[in-house]
Structure 1
Amino acid sequence: MPGRVLVLGSLNVDLVTRVERHPRPGETVLGEGLQRLAGGKGANQAVAAAAAGAEVAMVGCVGDDEGGAAYRERLTARGVDVTGVRVVEGAPSGHALIAVSDDGENSIVVVPGANDLLDEREVAAVDALGAGDVLLVQLEVPRAVVCTAVRRAAGRGARVVLNTAPYAALPPDVVALADPVVANEHEMQALAEAGAEPRSLLVTFGANGASWDGETAPAQAVEARDVLDTTGAGDAFCGALAAALARGAEREEALAAALAAGADAVRHVGAQPDPAL
């Protein structure tokens, strides 16, 4: 029987505009249009894991605002259990301000809001995990909560997938419990400089594929004209990876599924398919 995927992480309302090019420091450029889209690394990964066929539960916080309510409804409609998504009174939901250039690259400023308020109540959800289940975490929520959740999940026999984005230093024992740590090239370098020693490291190289403990796999080719937005590619990769591992896939199969999901993600605008909130 396949395991479950529990995603502990962020939920953001993304405000997205398109620019011809990104501004240089001190420069102003004009944006075209403004969309309100679903984002946040945690929720992005939960949606991707559910789309890949996993039984998924989301754990996090939203504010008691219209954006937070809309997000809970959206996740439910996509088959994600939101029992563990707490509504925090008096707090705004997290937001991300995103500019997407004509060549598909993006710049992002995150305003955490309710994402900064995760605490022991969210960690308690990990107690439902067991052998065969997967805990998927990122670093857009308080590090102390992530660390406690990783330790508790591993202690219950669950597999931990740790996405070190956005990068922050973590205790060595937390890094060592993950199988795998998922990092891009910049995060990999930061891990090395911090002296972290993952027992399992999966490095993503964008259009150049990925490497899992030295075993490389090519990315799925996407024509330049088809690249609309790279915002959610890494999150789609992580969600599909967790889903594959939860169903018992071996490394090669899980990595292929993750790369395929990452390639599909750049073909649509926003961090999730049909992401309007």
Structure 2
Amino acid sequence: MTDVVSLGSANVDRTRYLSTDRIRDLEARYDWFPAAGETVRIDASPELPALEADRYENVVGGKGANQAVAAARAAAETAFLGCVGADAAEYGVLETLADRGVDVDRVAIAADLETGKAYVFVDDTGESWIAIVGGANDAVDDAYVDRHYERIRTADALLLQNEIPVAAMERVLERLESESTRPTTVFNPAPAEGAEPLCSRSAVDIVVVNEAEYAALEEELADFDGTVVRTRGADGVVATGAVEHRVTPPSVDPVDTTGAGDAFCGYLAALVGGGAGLERALEGATVAGSTATETEGVQNAIPDRETVERTLENRNVDD
């Protein structure tokens, strides 16, 4: 079985489903508010006016945790490495991940911190705006990754995002660069701010960016020696590197795009780590990301491997 490690964030997602007009009003009112499809880091939980949301939910999220669930749904043996706060049990963070097939035995608990939080706003069309507060995610440090380095080194694929300290990820990549064998590393620089140093590490093989992230990191990615994968929603996926690949997504009716990128990354790592060629891996990841938009939520919306394979088979027959 393919072995995947996701080193990253675990959050409690506080999701509000609002009208597009209400979200536009928030964009105009607050300087920290993200753009559509963007994830931004903020220093503290925001003070917001009373919002009459259609629905308000607290669910387990965080890009590291989400991508771990996606890899597990892609039938990979998957471990999540990261840090949660003293309130994790209140929200069932580790229990939820374990129930979804993820090994959480090595997750640290910071007794003096809260679990990271994400403030997620979803509009009538399914578009999302995300602001994160680091919390316990910021406690992932060199000592933590050194303790678990062998688990990382021996994996088939490593997933990294940008919701934990860059220094800890640089520590891992620096050590991997001296290894004769190492995992295939998939880096998703979200949020893009501060991710620049990681784009130059030789132990990073694939960088996955949406259009906003690509625009923010275009200069760094121009010098990147690996494969750059641009996810462009309904416009499809473009991968550039030694060979260019283009993948057209299946036709879907999106209701929530929040988890599409995480579903894509987790599947891509599981498929590439399992020996699939890049083109085949991109096709599977594209189907997974697109299918995830058809259900509200993130982790619960990620399709299983059987569903993705069935969609791929039907697409091949239609072609």
| 8 Å contact kept, 1:47–1:75 | yes
Deviation digits for residues 27-86 of structure 1 (CA, Å, limit 9, x no counterpart): 866322211111100000000000000010100000011456611111111221112210
Tell me the residue number matched to 2:12.
13
**How many equivalent pairs are there?**
271
CA contact (8 A) 2:294 2:301 kept: no
Equivalent in 144, 162, 167 of residue 187 of structure 2? 162
When residues 274 and 221 of structure 1 are mapped into structure 2, their CA distance, relative to the original with a 3 A threshold, is: closer
SS of 2:205 mapped into structure 1 = coil
1:187 and 2:213 correspond? yes
In the TM superposition, what is the alpha-carbon distance from 1:172 to its structure 2 partner?
Answer: 6.5
Letter of the structure 2 residue corresponding to residue 151 of structure 1: E
Q: Which residue matches 2:279?
A: 252
| Paired letter, 1:182 | V
- Which segments of 5 or more consecutive residues in structure 1 lack a partner in the other structure? none
- Alignment partners' CA distance in 2, 1:164 and 1:112: 15
Does the CA-based 8 Å contact 1:12-1:93 persist in structure 2? yes
Post-superposition CA distance 1:205-257 (Å, at most 9, x none): 1111111113211112113xxx1100000000000000101211101110011
Mapped to 1, the partners of 2:12 and 2:55 lie a distance apart of 16
Which of 26, 29, 42 aligns to 1:26? It is 29
Question: Which residue of the partner structure matches residue 73 of structure 2?
Answer: 51
Matched with 1:4 is 3
Taking the aligned partners of 1:166 and 1:64, their CA distance within structure 2 comes to 25
Supply the AA of the counterpart residue of 1:37. Answer: V
Aligned-residue CA RMSD (Å): 2.1
Partner of 1:83: 105
TM-score between both structures, scaled by the size of structure 2: 0.79
**Contact 2:292/2:301 (CA < 8 Å) preserved in 1?**
no
- Unmatched tracts of structure 2, length 5 or more: 31-48, 303-319
Query: TM-score, normalised to structure 1's length?
Result: 0.90
Question: How do 1:126-137 residues align onto structure 2 when only pairs under 5 Å count?
Answer: 126-130=149-153, 133-137=156-160
Structure having the higher strand fraction is 1
Same amino acid, percent of matched pairs? 38
Question: In structure 2, which of residues 117, 130, 144 is the aligned counterpart of residue 108 of structure 1?
Answer: 130
Residue 235 of structure 1 corresponds to which residue in structure 2? 262
Which amino acid letter does the alignment assign opposite residue 49 of structure 1? A
